[in-house]
Amino acid sequence: MSQCDAIQESIGRWLDGELKATDSEAVRSHIAGCPDCGAARRRLEKIHSTFGGHLRAEASQLEFAPFWREVRRRIDEKRPWREDLFEWVQSQLTAPRLAWSVPAAIVLVLGLISFAKWPVDGQFSNYASVESIDTHGRNVALLREDETKTTIIWLYQDPEGENENVEEATKSGPAF
Amino acid sequence: MWKKLRNPVLLFSLVFVSVAGWLHAADTAPQSVQVTVRSILAGNNNDEFDPKLKGLEQQLKPLKHRSFRALKDETQTIPWQGSKAFEIPGGRSLTITTREFQNNRIGLEIRLTQGDKPVIDTTVKIANKGSIILGGPAHEGGSLVLSISAAAQ
Amino acid sequence: MELSDWQLVEKCQAGDADAFQELVSRYHQKVFMVILGLLHNREDALEVAQETFFRAYRKIRSFQGGSSFYTWIYRIAVNNAIDAQRKQKRNPLDFHENIDGIFAARNEVANDPFADVHDRELRENMSKAINELTPEHKAVIVLRTIEGMSYKDIGEILGCSEGTVMSRLHYARKKLQDKLRAYL
Protein backbone atom coordinates (compact mmCIF):
# COMPACT_ATOMS: atom_id res chain seq x y z
CA MET A 1 0.00 0.00 0.00
CA SER A 2 1.42 3.39 -0.99
CA GLN A 3 1.46 6.35 1.34
CA CYS A 4 -1.40 7.97 -0.60
CA ASP A 5 -3.49 4.79 -0.27
CA ALA A 6 -2.89 4.76 3.47
CA ILE A 7 -3.71 8.47 3.79
CA GLN A 8 -6.90 8.12 1.73
CA GLU A 9 -7.99 5.27 3.99
CA SER A 10 -7.70 7.68 6.91
CA ILE A 11 -9.21 10.83 5.39
CA GLY A 12 -12.68 9.97 6.64
CA ARG A 13 -11.52 9.53 10.21
CA TRP A 14 -9.39 12.64 9.97
CA LEU A 15 -12.35 14.73 8.84
CA ASP A 16 -14.41 13.16 11.65
CA GLY A 17 -11.79 14.16 14.22
CA GLU A 18 -11.30 10.57 15.27
CA LEU A 19 -7.54 10.32 14.71
CA LYS A 20 -4.90 10.74 17.38
CA ALA A 21 -3.14 14.09 17.32
CA THR A 22 0.07 12.76 15.75
CA ASP A 23 -1.77 10.80 13.05
CA SER A 24 -4.04 13.76 12.39
CA GLU A 25 -1.07 16.05 11.85
CA ALA A 26 0.56 13.51 9.51
CA VAL A 27 -2.59 13.34 7.37
CA ARG A 28 -3.04 17.11 7.32
CA SER A 29 0.49 17.79 6.20
CA HIS A 30 0.37 15.09 3.51
CA ILE A 31 -2.91 16.39 2.10
CA ALA A 32 -1.53 19.92 2.00
CA GLY A 33 1.18 18.80 -0.39
CA CYS A 34 -0.55 16.02 -2.38
CA PRO A 35 -3.00 16.92 -5.20
CA ASP A 36 -4.50 13.40 -5.38
CA CYS A 37 -5.18 13.19 -1.66
CA GLY A 38 -6.39 16.78 -1.66
CA ALA A 39 -8.88 15.82 -4.38
CA ALA A 40 -9.99 12.78 -2.36
CA ARG A 41 -10.60 15.04 0.60
CA ARG A 42 -12.66 17.45 -1.52
CA ARG A 43 -14.74 14.59 -2.95
CA LEU A 44 -15.58 13.35 0.51
CA GLU A 45 -16.41 16.81 1.76
CA LYS A 46 -18.60 17.41 -1.28
CA ILE A 47 -20.58 14.24 -0.61
CA HIS A 48 -21.19 15.26 2.96
CA SER A 49 -22.00 18.87 2.27
CA THR A 50 -24.39 18.02 -0.58
CA PHE A 51 -26.19 15.31 1.34
CA GLY A 52 -26.25 17.22 4.59
CA GLY A 53 -27.20 20.50 2.94
CA HIS A 54 -30.18 18.91 1.20
CA LEU A 55 -31.46 17.39 4.41
CA ARG A 56 -30.92 20.54 6.49
CA ALA A 57 -32.81 22.57 3.92
CA GLU A 58 -35.69 20.13 4.10
CA ALA A 59 -35.75 20.15 7.87
CA SER A 60 -35.65 23.94 8.09
CA GLN A 61 -39.04 24.04 6.37
CA LEU A 62 -40.62 21.81 8.95
CA GLU A 63 -42.99 23.87 11.07
CA PHE A 64 -43.37 22.97 14.69
CA ALA A 65 -47.06 23.74 15.27
CA PRO A 66 -48.60 21.25 12.80
CA PHE A 67 -45.96 18.69 13.73
CA TRP A 68 -46.79 18.98 17.41
CA ARG A 69 -50.52 18.89 16.69
CA GLU A 70 -50.13 15.53 15.00
CA VAL A 71 -47.94 14.14 17.79
CA ARG A 72 -50.50 15.37 20.32
CA ARG A 73 -53.32 13.78 18.37
CA ARG A 74 -51.55 10.43 18.56
CA ILE A 75 -50.96 10.80 22.28
CA ASP A 76 -54.60 11.64 22.94
CA GLU A 77 -55.97 8.96 20.67
CA LYS A 78 -57.10 5.79 22.43
CA ARG A 79 -55.46 2.77 20.92
CA PRO A 80 -56.94 -0.74 20.92
CA TRP A 81 -55.34 -2.85 23.64
CA ARG A 82 -54.17 -5.31 20.99
CA GLU A 83 -51.90 -2.69 19.47
CA ASP A 84 -50.37 -1.93 22.85
CA LEU A 85 -49.82 -5.63 23.48
CA PHE A 86 -48.28 -6.12 20.04
CA GLU A 87 -45.99 -3.15 20.60
CA TRP A 88 -44.92 -4.51 23.97
CA VAL A 89 -44.19 -7.97 22.54
CA GLN A 90 -42.24 -6.37 19.70
CA SER A 91 -40.22 -4.31 22.16
CA GLN A 92 -39.28 -7.45 24.09
CA LEU A 93 -37.98 -9.20 21.00
CA THR A 94 -34.90 -7.06 20.64
CA ALA A 95 -31.43 -8.57 20.39
CA PRO A 96 -30.25 -7.80 23.92
CA ARG A 97 -33.45 -9.16 25.40
CA LEU A 98 -33.37 -12.21 23.16
CA ALA A 99 -30.02 -13.01 24.68
CA TRP A 100 -31.76 -13.21 28.03
CA SER A 101 -34.26 -15.69 26.69
CA VAL A 102 -31.58 -18.38 26.48
CA PRO A 103 -30.58 -18.35 30.14
CA ALA A 104 -34.21 -17.78 31.11
CA ALA A 105 -35.26 -20.87 29.16
CA ILE A 106 -32.50 -22.93 30.76
CA VAL A 107 -33.44 -21.75 34.24
CA LEU A 108 -37.06 -22.62 33.48
CA VAL A 109 -36.11 -26.12 32.38
CA LEU A 110 -33.93 -26.62 35.45
CA GLY A 111 -36.75 -25.32 37.60
CA LEU A 112 -39.22 -27.75 36.03
CA ILE A 113 -36.84 -30.63 36.56
CA SER A 114 -36.33 -29.75 40.21
CA PHE A 115 -40.03 -29.05 40.61
CA ALA A 116 -40.85 -32.50 39.30
CA LYS A 117 -38.64 -33.98 41.97
CA TRP A 118 -40.59 -32.48 44.82
CA PRO A 119 -44.22 -33.10 45.57
CA VAL A 120 -46.70 -30.26 45.22
CA ASP A 121 -49.36 -29.82 47.90
CA GLY A 122 -52.31 -31.98 47.08
CA GLN A 123 -50.42 -34.01 44.53
CA PHE A 124 -48.19 -36.09 46.80
CA SER A 125 -47.08 -39.33 45.23
CA ASN A 126 -46.36 -42.02 47.79
CA TYR A 127 -44.61 -44.16 45.23
CA ALA A 128 -42.22 -46.67 46.84
CA SER A 129 -40.08 -49.34 45.30
CA VAL A 130 -39.12 -52.68 46.80
CA GLU A 131 -35.49 -53.33 45.98
CA SER A 132 -35.16 -56.71 47.58
CA ILE A 133 -37.27 -58.99 49.75
CA ASP A 134 -36.54 -62.13 51.75
CA THR A 135 -39.55 -63.65 53.44
CA HIS A 136 -37.69 -66.67 54.77
CA GLY A 137 -39.90 -69.16 53.01
CA ARG A 138 -43.20 -67.37 53.27
CA ASN A 139 -45.31 -66.23 50.38
CA VAL A 140 -45.63 -62.54 49.85
CA ALA A 141 -47.78 -60.27 47.79
CA LEU A 142 -46.98 -56.73 46.71
CA LEU A 143 -49.89 -54.39 46.19
CA ARG A 144 -50.30 -50.74 45.35
CA GLU A 145 -53.24 -48.70 46.52
CA ASP A 146 -54.53 -46.67 43.58
CA GLU A 147 -55.25 -43.27 45.03
CA THR A 148 -52.27 -42.59 47.29
CA LYS A 149 -50.03 -45.09 45.46
CA THR A 150 -49.07 -46.63 48.82
CA THR A 151 -47.11 -49.85 48.47
CA ILE A 152 -48.28 -52.76 50.60
CA ILE A 153 -46.07 -55.75 51.34
CA TRP A 154 -48.38 -58.50 52.50
CA LEU A 155 -46.86 -61.52 54.15
CA TYR A 156 -48.91 -64.67 54.16
CA GLN A 157 -49.32 -66.28 57.52
CA ASP A 158 -47.87 -69.63 56.55
CA PRO A 159 -45.65 -70.75 53.70
CA GLU A 160 -48.48 -72.61 51.91
CA GLY A 161 -51.73 -70.92 52.79
CA GLU A 162 -53.44 -67.73 51.61
CA ASN A 163 -55.12 -65.18 53.84
CA GLU A 164 -58.70 -64.85 52.57
CA ASN A 165 -58.76 -61.22 53.64
CA VAL A 166 -56.40 -60.30 50.91
CA GLU A 167 -58.11 -62.46 48.30
CA GLU A 168 -59.46 -59.54 46.40
CA ALA A 169 -56.35 -57.53 46.90
CA THR A 170 -54.20 -60.18 45.29
CA LYS A 171 -56.47 -60.17 42.26
CA SER A 172 -55.18 -56.69 41.52
CA GLY A 173 -51.85 -58.29 40.79
CA PRO A 174 -48.38 -57.59 42.09
CA ALA A 175 -47.32 -54.03 42.69
CA PHE A 176 -44.68 -54.38 40.05
CA MET B 1 -19.96 -5.39 39.58
CA TRP B 2 -23.68 -4.88 39.02
CA LYS B 3 -23.02 -3.70 35.48
CA LYS B 4 -21.09 -6.90 34.81
CA LEU B 5 -24.03 -8.92 36.07
CA ARG B 6 -26.12 -7.52 33.26
CA ASN B 7 -24.11 -9.71 30.91
CA PRO B 8 -26.56 -12.51 30.20
CA VAL B 9 -23.84 -15.13 29.98
CA LEU B 10 -22.40 -14.23 33.35
CA LEU B 11 -25.79 -14.08 34.99
CA PHE B 12 -26.81 -17.36 33.44
CA SER B 13 -23.63 -18.98 34.73
CA LEU B 14 -24.31 -17.68 38.22
CA VAL B 15 -27.90 -18.87 38.12
CA PHE B 16 -26.91 -22.23 36.69
CA VAL B 17 -24.28 -22.80 39.36
CA SER B 18 -26.74 -21.75 42.08
CA VAL B 19 -29.48 -24.02 40.81
CA ALA B 20 -27.08 -26.91 40.29
CA GLY B 21 -25.77 -26.38 43.80
CA TRP B 22 -29.28 -26.27 45.16
CA LEU B 23 -30.23 -29.45 43.35
CA HIS B 24 -27.08 -31.11 44.59
CA ALA B 25 -27.67 -29.91 48.12
CA ALA B 26 -31.18 -31.27 47.92
CA ASP B 27 -29.74 -34.73 47.37
CA THR B 28 -27.09 -34.51 50.01
CA ALA B 29 -27.63 -37.13 52.71
CA PRO B 30 -29.79 -35.89 55.57
CA GLN B 31 -28.43 -35.84 59.06
CA SER B 32 -31.14 -38.16 60.31
CA VAL B 33 -34.49 -39.65 59.39
CA GLN B 34 -37.54 -39.52 61.58
CA VAL B 35 -39.39 -42.82 61.31
CA THR B 36 -42.87 -43.49 62.65
CA VAL B 37 -44.19 -47.03 62.93
CA ARG B 38 -47.89 -47.46 63.55
CA SER B 39 -48.93 -50.93 64.62
CA ILE B 40 -52.51 -51.73 63.57
CA LEU B 41 -54.76 -54.75 64.15
CA ALA B 42 -56.81 -55.61 61.07
CA GLY B 43 -59.76 -57.92 61.69
CA ASN B 44 -63.24 -59.00 60.68
CA ASN B 45 -65.01 -59.11 64.06
CA ASN B 46 -66.77 -55.83 63.61
CA ASP B 47 -66.87 -52.82 61.32
CA GLU B 48 -65.06 -50.38 63.50
CA PHE B 49 -62.42 -48.05 62.13
CA ASP B 50 -60.34 -46.57 64.93
CA PRO B 51 -60.54 -42.76 64.78
CA LYS B 52 -56.86 -42.65 65.71
CA LEU B 53 -56.17 -44.06 62.28
CA LYS B 54 -57.76 -41.11 60.53
CA GLY B 55 -55.79 -40.40 57.38
CA LEU B 56 -54.97 -44.03 56.71
CA GLU B 57 -58.37 -45.12 55.42
CA GLN B 58 -57.39 -44.97 51.79
CA GLN B 59 -54.10 -46.75 52.31
CA LEU B 60 -55.72 -49.62 54.22
CA LYS B 61 -58.57 -50.03 51.75
CA PRO B 62 -56.97 -52.78 49.61
CA LEU B 63 -56.69 -55.05 52.63
CA LYS B 64 -60.49 -55.68 52.70
CA HIS B 65 -60.58 -56.14 56.44
CA ARG B 66 -63.72 -54.88 58.15
CA SER B 67 -62.12 -53.41 61.20
CA PHE B 68 -58.89 -51.61 61.97
CA ARG B 69 -57.66 -50.75 65.48
CA ALA B 70 -54.59 -48.75 66.43
CA LEU B 71 -52.32 -50.76 68.73
CA LYS B 72 -49.22 -48.64 69.15
CA ASP B 73 -47.40 -45.69 67.63
CA GLU B 74 -43.69 -45.20 67.96
CA THR B 75 -41.48 -42.52 66.51
CA GLN B 76 -37.72 -42.51 66.54
CA THR B 77 -35.03 -40.45 64.91
CA ILE B 78 -32.52 -42.66 63.19
CA PRO B 79 -29.11 -41.14 62.49
CA TRP B 80 -27.95 -41.36 58.89
CA GLN B 81 -26.83 -44.93 58.08
CA GLY B 82 -27.74 -45.91 61.59
CA SER B 83 -30.29 -48.38 62.93
CA LYS B 84 -33.07 -48.31 65.45
CA ALA B 85 -35.36 -51.05 66.72
CA PHE B 86 -39.09 -50.53 67.16
CA GLU B 87 -41.10 -52.64 69.58
CA ILE B 88 -43.97 -54.33 67.80
CA PRO B 89 -46.88 -56.00 69.60
CA GLY B 90 -46.73 -59.78 69.85
CA GLY B 91 -43.08 -60.04 70.88
CA ARG B 92 -41.89 -58.70 67.58
CA SER B 93 -39.26 -56.20 66.71
CA LEU B 94 -38.83 -54.04 63.64
CA THR B 95 -35.30 -52.87 62.91
CA ILE B 96 -34.90 -50.06 60.44
CA THR B 97 -31.61 -48.93 58.96
CA THR B 98 -31.29 -45.79 56.83
CA ARG B 99 -29.20 -46.37 53.75
CA GLU B 100 -29.66 -44.04 50.87
CA PHE B 101 -31.11 -40.67 49.90
CA GLN B 102 -31.57 -39.92 46.22
CA ASN B 103 -34.14 -38.03 44.19
CA ASN B 104 -35.91 -37.17 47.45
CA ARG B 105 -36.43 -40.83 48.24
CA ILE B 106 -35.15 -42.59 51.34
CA GLY B 107 -33.65 -46.04 51.13
CA LEU B 108 -34.43 -48.22 54.17
CA GLU B 109 -33.47 -51.70 55.21
CA ILE B 110 -36.33 -53.22 57.21
CA ARG B 111 -36.19 -56.39 59.26
CA LEU B 112 -39.13 -57.81 61.15
CA THR B 113 -38.32 -60.46 63.70
CA GLN B 114 -40.44 -62.56 66.02
CA GLY B 115 -38.23 -63.16 69.01
CA ASP B 116 -34.94 -64.16 67.41
CA LYS B 117 -36.49 -65.44 64.20
CA PRO B 118 -36.45 -63.24 61.10
CA VAL B 119 -39.86 -62.88 59.54
CA ILE B 120 -39.04 -60.62 56.64
CA ASP B 121 -36.02 -58.69 55.38
CA THR B 122 -36.63 -56.10 52.74
CA THR B 123 -34.93 -53.10 51.22
CA VAL B 124 -37.26 -50.36 50.05
CA LYS B 125 -37.10 -46.83 48.73
CA ILE B 126 -39.93 -44.63 49.87
CA ALA B 127 -40.74 -41.03 49.11
CA ASN B 128 -39.46 -38.52 51.64
CA LYS B 129 -42.37 -37.95 54.01
CA GLY B 130 -44.04 -40.98 52.43
CA SER B 131 -44.96 -44.38 53.83
CA ILE B 132 -45.12 -48.05 53.12
CA ILE B 133 -47.32 -50.76 54.64
CA LEU B 134 -46.04 -54.10 55.83
CA GLY B 135 -48.64 -56.58 57.01
CA GLY B 136 -49.80 -60.13 57.36
CA PRO B 137 -48.47 -61.76 60.54
CA ALA B 138 -51.26 -63.20 62.62
CA HIS B 139 -52.14 -61.28 65.76
CA GLU B 140 -55.05 -61.50 68.25
CA GLY B 141 -57.42 -63.18 65.79
CA GLY B 142 -56.62 -60.83 62.99
CA SER B 143 -53.60 -59.61 61.12
CA LEU B 144 -50.85 -57.24 62.15
CA VAL B 145 -50.40 -54.26 59.84
CA LEU B 146 -47.44 -51.87 60.17
CA SER B 147 -47.53 -48.43 58.57
CA ILE B 148 -43.93 -47.19 58.27
CA SER B 149 -43.36 -43.56 57.37
CA ALA B 150 -40.08 -41.66 57.06
CA ALA B 151 -39.08 -38.01 56.81
CA ALA B 152 -35.53 -36.80 56.15
CA GLN B 153 -34.15 -34.13 58.50
CA MET C 1 -33.27 29.92 32.69
CA GLU C 2 -33.52 27.17 30.08
CA LEU C 3 -34.05 23.73 31.53
CA SER C 4 -31.73 20.91 30.54
CA ASP C 5 -33.06 17.93 28.60
CA TRP C 6 -32.89 15.76 31.71
CA GLN C 7 -34.81 18.30 33.77
CA LEU C 8 -37.50 18.34 31.11
CA VAL C 9 -37.57 14.52 31.10
CA GLU C 10 -38.07 14.50 34.85
CA LYS C 11 -40.95 16.91 34.49
CA CYS C 12 -42.47 14.70 31.77
CA GLN C 13 -42.15 11.68 34.03
CA ALA C 14 -44.01 13.64 36.66
CA GLY C 15 -46.83 14.24 34.14
CA ASP C 16 -45.96 17.68 32.78
CA ALA C 17 -47.17 17.65 29.15
CA ASP C 18 -45.65 21.09 28.45
CA ALA C 19 -42.22 19.71 29.25
CA PHE C 20 -42.64 17.08 26.56
CA GLN C 21 -43.77 19.70 24.09
CA GLU C 22 -40.56 21.62 24.81
CA LEU C 23 -38.49 18.49 24.13
CA VAL C 24 -40.30 17.94 20.84
CA SER C 25 -39.68 21.52 19.82
CA ARG C 26 -35.96 21.11 20.50
CA TYR C 27 -35.53 17.94 18.51
CA HIS C 28 -38.26 17.65 15.90
CA GLN C 29 -36.19 19.04 13.05
CA LYS C 30 -33.10 17.00 13.87
CA VAL C 31 -35.12 13.81 14.21
CA PHE C 32 -36.91 14.54 10.95
CA MET C 33 -33.57 15.13 9.20
CA VAL C 34 -32.19 11.78 10.32
CA ILE C 35 -35.31 9.93 9.28
CA LEU C 36 -35.47 11.72 5.94
CA GLY C 37 -31.87 10.72 5.33
CA LEU C 38 -32.85 7.10 5.82
CA LEU C 39 -36.20 7.04 4.03
CA HIS C 40 -35.72 9.69 1.28
CA ASN C 41 -39.43 10.38 1.23
CA ARG C 42 -40.82 13.46 2.97
CA GLU C 43 -44.28 12.15 3.78
CA ASP C 44 -42.92 8.89 5.17
CA ALA C 45 -40.25 10.74 7.13
CA LEU C 46 -42.86 13.07 8.65
CA GLU C 47 -45.08 10.16 9.62
CA VAL C 48 -42.18 8.23 11.18
CA ALA C 49 -40.88 11.34 12.99
CA GLN C 50 -44.27 11.96 14.57
CA GLU C 51 -44.53 8.30 15.50
CA THR C 52 -41.05 8.52 17.04
CA PHE C 53 -42.10 11.25 19.43
CA PHE C 54 -45.34 9.46 20.19
CA ARG C 55 -43.41 6.32 21.16
CA ALA C 56 -40.94 8.38 23.14
CA TYR C 57 -43.85 9.85 25.08
CA ARG C 58 -45.12 6.39 25.91
CA LYS C 59 -41.69 5.19 26.98
CA ILE C 60 -40.56 8.33 28.78
CA ARG C 61 -41.21 6.86 32.22
CA SER C 62 -38.77 4.05 31.55
CA PHE C 63 -36.00 6.42 30.44
CA GLN C 64 -33.57 6.50 33.32
CA GLY C 65 -30.93 8.84 31.94
CA GLY C 66 -28.37 6.14 31.28
CA SER C 67 -27.70 7.90 27.98
CA SER C 68 -28.41 11.45 26.91
CA PHE C 69 -31.92 12.25 25.77
CA TYR C 70 -30.85 12.96 22.20
CA THR C 71 -29.06 9.60 21.96
CA TRP C 72 -32.22 7.94 23.24
CA ILE C 73 -34.57 9.74 20.87
CA TYR C 74 -32.29 9.14 17.89
CA ARG C 75 -32.19 5.46 18.76
CA ILE C 76 -35.97 5.31 18.63
CA ALA C 77 -35.97 7.33 15.41
CA VAL C 78 -33.40 5.12 13.65
CA ASN C 79 -35.17 1.92 14.71
CA ASN C 80 -38.51 3.26 13.49
CA ALA C 81 -36.96 4.38 10.21
CA ILE C 82 -35.31 1.03 9.61
CA ASP C 83 -38.63 -0.70 10.35
CA ALA C 84 -40.39 1.63 7.94
CA GLN C 85 -37.72 1.00 5.31
CA ARG C 86 -38.38 -2.68 5.48
CA LYS C 87 -42.06 -2.05 4.97
CA GLN C 88 -41.45 0.53 2.27
CA LYS C 89 -42.95 -0.71 -0.94
CA ARG C 90 -42.52 2.49 -2.91
CA ASN C 91 -40.69 2.37 -6.19
CA PRO C 92 -37.33 4.19 -5.97
CA LEU C 93 -38.49 6.38 -8.85
CA ASP C 94 -41.00 7.96 -6.52
CA PHE C 95 -38.05 9.41 -4.72
CA HIS C 96 -36.91 11.20 -7.82
CA GLU C 97 -40.34 12.76 -8.13
CA ASN C 98 -39.93 13.93 -4.59
CA ILE C 99 -36.50 15.27 -5.38
CA ASP C 100 -37.95 17.40 -8.17
CA GLY C 101 -40.51 18.71 -5.76
CA ILE C 102 -37.79 19.42 -3.23
CA PHE C 103 -35.76 21.34 -5.77
CA ALA C 104 -38.75 23.47 -6.59
CA ALA C 105 -39.17 24.21 -2.91
CA ARG C 106 -35.49 24.71 -2.28
CA ASN C 107 -35.07 27.25 -4.99
CA GLU C 108 -37.38 29.41 -2.95
CA VAL C 109 -35.18 29.13 0.10
CA ALA C 110 -33.17 32.31 0.18
CA ASN C 111 -30.09 30.99 1.89
CA ASP C 112 -29.78 27.70 0.02
CA PRO C 113 -26.09 27.41 -0.86
CA PHE C 114 -26.71 24.56 -3.26
CA ALA C 115 -29.29 26.05 -5.62
CA ASP C 116 -26.82 25.51 -8.44
CA VAL C 117 -28.51 23.36 -11.07
CA HIS C 118 -25.15 21.75 -11.79
CA ASP C 119 -25.48 19.97 -8.45
CA ARG C 120 -28.83 18.55 -9.44
CA GLU C 121 -27.30 15.57 -11.13
CA LEU C 122 -25.10 14.94 -8.12
CA ARG C 123 -28.08 15.04 -5.77
CA GLU C 124 -30.18 12.78 -7.94
CA ASN C 125 -27.46 10.20 -8.23
CA MET C 126 -26.54 10.61 -4.58
CA SER C 127 -30.02 9.66 -3.48
CA LYS C 128 -29.81 6.56 -5.66
CA ALA C 129 -26.35 5.68 -4.34
CA ILE C 130 -27.35 6.17 -0.70
CA ASN C 131 -30.50 4.15 -1.24
CA GLU C 132 -28.38 1.26 -2.40
CA LEU C 133 -26.60 1.11 0.94
CA THR C 134 -27.88 -1.27 3.61
CA PRO C 135 -29.96 0.36 6.40
CA GLU C 136 -27.03 -0.01 8.80
CA HIS C 137 -24.57 1.74 6.44
CA LYS C 138 -27.10 4.42 5.65
CA ALA C 139 -27.67 5.08 9.33
CA VAL C 140 -23.98 5.75 10.08
CA ILE C 141 -23.60 8.06 7.09
CA VAL C 142 -26.73 10.01 8.03
CA LEU C 143 -25.81 10.41 11.70
CA ARG C 144 -22.27 11.44 10.90
CA THR C 145 -23.22 13.81 8.08
CA ILE C 146 -26.12 15.61 9.71
CA GLU C 147 -25.20 15.65 13.32
CA GLY C 148 -21.44 15.36 13.15
CA MET C 149 -21.74 12.80 15.92
CA SER C 150 -18.73 11.04 17.36
CA TYR C 151 -18.26 7.37 16.59
CA LYS C 152 -18.99 6.67 20.26
CA ASP C 153 -22.37 8.39 20.13
CA ILE C 154 -23.26 6.77 16.83
CA GLY C 155 -22.33 3.38 18.28
CA GLU C 156 -24.54 4.04 21.29
CA ILE C 157 -27.49 4.91 19.08
CA LEU C 158 -27.07 1.95 16.77
CA GLY C 159 -26.06 -0.50 19.46
CA CYS C 160 -22.67 -1.34 18.00
CA SER C 161 -19.01 -0.71 18.79
CA GLU C 162 -16.97 2.30 17.68
CA GLY C 163 -14.93 -0.06 15.50
CA THR C 164 -18.07 -1.20 13.72
CA VAL C 165 -19.15 2.42 13.17
CA MET C 166 -15.73 3.22 11.74
CA SER C 167 -15.71 0.30 9.33
CA ARG C 168 -19.30 0.93 8.21
CA LEU C 169 -18.57 4.60 7.59
CA HIS C 170 -15.44 3.77 5.65
CA TYR C 171 -17.31 1.23 3.51
CA ALA C 172 -20.27 3.56 2.90
CA ARG C 173 -18.03 6.48 1.91
CA LYS C 174 -16.01 4.29 -0.43
CA LYS C 175 -19.18 3.05 -2.12
CA LEU C 176 -20.54 6.57 -2.50
CA GLN C 177 -17.28 7.89 -3.92
CA ASP C 178 -17.11 5.04 -6.42
CA LYS C 179 -20.69 5.56 -7.61
CA LEU C 180 -20.54 9.37 -7.70
CA ARG C 181 -17.02 9.86 -9.03
CA ALA C 182 -18.32 11.26 -12.32
CA TYR C 183 -20.32 13.95 -10.54
CA LEU C 184 -17.82 15.00 -7.89
CB contact under 8 A, A99 and B8: yes
Cα gap B78→A165, rounded to integer Å: 34
A interface with C, Cβ–Cβ < 8 A, is 9, 12-13, 16-18, 40, 42-44, 46-62, 64, 67-68, 70-71, 74-75, 95-96
pLDDT band at A158; cut points 50, 70, 90: low
> Is C152 part of the contact surface with chain A (CB cutoff 8 Å)?
no
Q: Is residue A75 part of a domain?
A: no
A132 and A110 in a common domain: no
A176 and A125 in a common domain: yes
Cα gap C172→C136, rounded to integer Å: 10
Among C29, C38, C86, most A C-beta atoms within 10 A, so best to mutate, is C29
Q: Is C57 helix (H, G, I), strand (E, B) or coil?
A: helix
Asked if C69 and C156 touch (Cβ cutoff 8 Å), the reply is: no
B59 and B72 in a common domain: yes
CB contact under 8 A, B133 and A110: no
Asked if A41 and A9 touch (Cβ cutoff 8 Å), the reply is: no
Across A17-31, A138-152, B122-136, C68-82, least confident range: A138-152
> Is C128 part of the contact surface with chain A (CB cutoff 8 Å)?
no
Residues ≥6 apart with Cβ < 8 Å to A154:
A140, A141, A142, A143, A163, A166, A169, A170, B63, B135, B136
Give me the helix-helix angle, C42-59 and C92-106, nearest 10°: 90
Strands B130-139 vs B142-152: parallel, antiparallel or unpaired: antiparallel
- What is the pLDDT, as a whole number, of residue C76? 94
Interface of C with A in 59-78 (CB under 8 A): none
CB contact under 8 A, C123 and A54: yes
> Within 13 Å, how many C-alpha atoms sit on residue A16's CB side?
27
> Is C29 part of the contact surface with chain A (CB cutoff 8 Å)?
yes
Cα gap B33→B108, rounded to integer Å: 10
Give the residue with greater pLDDT, A164 vs C29.
Answer: C29
Long-range contacts of C22-25 (CB under 8 A, 24+ apart): C23/C69, C23/C73, C24/A64, C24/A67, C24/A68, C24/A71, C24/C53, C25/A64, C25/A68
A129 and A93 in a common domain: no
- pTM of the full structure: 0.52
DSSP type of residue C132: T
Contacts of residue A13 in chain C, CB cutoff 8 Å? Answer: 166, 170
B37 and B109 in a common domain: yes
Residues of chain A with pLDDT > 90: what percent? 30
pLDDT band at A164; cut points 50, 70, 90: very low
Q: Is residue A73 part of a domain?
A: no
| Count of domains for chain B | 2
B113 and B58 in a common domain: yes
B133 and B69 in a common domain: yes
Residues of chain C with pLDDT under 70: 88-118
Residues C120-130: tens digit of each pLDDT: 788 778 888 88
A126 and A112 in a common domain: no
B69 and B7 in a common domain: no
E strand map for chain A? 128-134, 140-144, 151-155
Nearest CA in chain C to A60: C29
Contacts of residue B119 in chain A, CB cutoff 8 Å? Answer: 135-136, 138, 155
- What is the pLDDT, as a whole number, of residue C106? 42
A129 and A173 in a common domain: yes
| Count of domains for chain A | 3
A112 and A146 in a common domain: no
A93 and A131 in a common domain: no
Nearest CA in chain C to A43: C184
Q: What is the mean pLDDT of chain A?
A: 78
Ramachandran assignment for B148, one of left (phi > 0), alpha (psi -120 to 50 degrees), beta (any other): beta
Distance to chain B for A19, nearest Cα, Å: 29
DSSP type of residue B11: H
DSSP type of residue C176: H
Give the residue with greater pLDDT, A101 vs A39.
Answer: A39
ipTM score assigned to the predicted complex: 0.83
Q: Is residue A66 part of a domain?
A: no
A141 and A98 in a common domain: no
- What is the pLDDT, as a whole number, of residue C147? 81
Nearest to A52 among C145, C159, C166 (CB): C145
B1 and B37 in a common domain: no
- What is the pLDDT, as a whole number, of residue C99? 43
Point out which residues pair with B139 in neighbouring strands.
B142
Q: Is residue A98 part of a domain?
A: yes
For position A22, which CATH number holds? 1.10.10
Q: Which of A48, A72, A58 is nearest to C30 (CA)?
A: A58
Q: Is residue A68 part of a domain?
A: no
B54 and B121 in a common domain: yes
- What is the pLDDT, as a whole number, of residue B71? 94
Q: Is residue A70 part of a domain?
A: no
Angle CA C9–C13–C19, to nearest 5: 50
Residues ≥6 apart with Cβ < 8 Å to B145:
B39, B40, B41, B42, B60, B63, B68, B133, B134, B135
Domain hosting residue B127, numbered range: 31-152
- What is the pLDDT, as a whole number, of residue A116? 62
Give the residue with greater pLDDT, A118 vs A168.
Answer: A118
B75 and B16 in a common domain: no
C-beta neighbour count of B43 within 10 angstroms: 17
Residues C105-153: tens digit of each pLDDT: 444 443 444 445 557 788 778 888 888 898 889 999 999 988 888 999 9
Asked if C32 and C78 touch (Cβ cutoff 8 Å), the reply is: no
**Using CA of residue A53, residue A56, residue A62, residue A67, what is the dihedral sign?**
positive
Cα gap C52→C31, rounded to integer Å: 8
A128 and A101 in a common domain: no
Residues A74-109: tens digit of each pLDDT: 988 867 777 777 767 766 665 555 667 777 787 788
B64 and B12 in a common domain: no
Could you report the average pLDDT of every consecutive run of 10 residues in chain B (153 residues)?
54 70 66 94 89 89 88 93 93 93 90 92 93 92 93 90
Domain hosting residue A107, numbered range: 81-117
Residue range A34-63: mean pLDDT, rounded: 90
CB contact under 8 A, A54 and C33: no
Domains of chain C: 1-90 (1.10.1740.10), 133-184 (1.10.10.10)
